[in-house]
Amino acid sequence: MKTKIFGLLVILSLIVVIPMADAQISIGQKAIQKSVEVTINLEGEVHVKHIVHKSNLPTDLELIYGTVSNVSVTNEEGNEVLFSISDDDRMLLVQPSSEESIIEYDLEHALIQTNGVWTWSFRYLETTSFYFPDEAKLIFSNERPVYLDEKKGISCHGCQMVLEYSINEPKNFENVTWEDKEFVVEILSHSNIENFVFNQPTKSISFDVSNENQFVTTIIPLELLWNPYVVLLDDEKIFFHEYNNDGTHVWLSLKPETSGTISIIGTTVIPEFPIIAPLAIGFLMILALPFTRKFNLH
């Protein structure tokens, strides 16, 4: 009986110690991760880096789903650490280490480019940081816009999202002249933009989009057309995001399901007469109010 137990222990120790590239089992405890970083380059190639806390026992690390290649496991000093990986590239077994373990690998074909837009259906429950190429200024997470500006990336907690972004998205500059003022409305989209019109009496701007399911981002000077807004596609209200209001311009992003005419209607438009006029009238009404009460016969 003792011989059988000893033999079983020897087999288990061999499974733990010997790295097997095609291992299908893991017997470690769940790895405690310090950080997860996803770096995306200009060509849409993905590199992943996990940092796992030190452990006296073997640990299981769940990898981000995809076609995994170029796997390496090192400690803080850059020395290689023994590991094994499952057949489906989903789980990696890291051997005990008195230092943090650094796991790195590439993910092939994680991002798919369609009509100029990179897309990734991403799911990983650990907090993950994403770093994008400098050319990516605007990204979308579940169709919600995130303006990066000078920031390099985003952090996603318990992350399940559809990630979308473009590199060097086409820009359309529409000039609006009203009396002696000039304004520029900028429209970013892979869809063709045509027939731009600014309509002062209806407090609106409109333009045609020729492609369906393409993001359209409009940057509007607030002096030209003030928020809040209503956005229509062929006279039907559609959902949009308003953000990045810096006091002079506001960004509106939408994703029309079909081609058609987009109309953005504001509540206040550049006035036909100087704005000081209504302010002066209001001020005079406030001054006159005590006198109207004085002569009120009731």
Nearest partner of 241 among 225, 218, 209, judged by Cα: 218
Q: Whole-angstrom Cα distance, residue 74 to residue 101?
A: 6
pLDDT per residue of the chain (298 residues) written in tens, 0 to 9? 444 443 433 333 433 333 433 344 456 799 999 999 999 999 999 999 999 999 999 999 999 999 999 999 999 989 998 899 998 989 999 999 899 999 999 999 999 999 899 999 999 999 999 999 999 999 999 999 999 988 889 999 888 999 999 998 999 999 999 888 999 999 999 999 999 999 999 999 999 999 999 999 999 999 999 999 999 999 899 999 999 999 999 999 999 999 999 999 998 877 754 444 444 445 445 555 554 444 443 4
In this predicted structure, what is the pLDDT of residue 4? 41
- Tell me: the pLDDT tens digits for 75-96? 998 999 889 999 898 999 999 9
Sorted by sequence, the CB contacts under 8 Å of residue 213 that are 6+ apart come out as 255, 256, 257
Q: Whole-angstrom Cα distance, residue 286 to residue 280?
A: 10
β-strands 249-254, 128-131 pairing: unpaired
User: Is residue 75 within a helix (H) or strand (E), and if so which, with residue range?
Assistant: strand 67-75
Q: How far apart are the first and last CA of the chain?
A: 110
Enter the tokens of residue 13. Answer: 């120790």
In this predicted structure, what is the pLDDT of residue 149? 82
Q: Whole-angstrom Cα distance, residue 191 to residue 215?
A: 8
How many residues belong to the chain?
Answer: 298
- Tell me: the pLDDT tens digits for 191-242? 999 999 999 999 999 999 999 999 999 999 999 999 999 999 998 999 999 9
Enter the tokens of residue 174. Answer: 């529409």
Going by the DSSP 8-state scheme, the letter that residue 277 receives in this structure is: H
Q: What is the pTM of this model?
A: 0.77
Q: Whole-angstrom Cα distance, residue 101 to residue 257?
A: 46
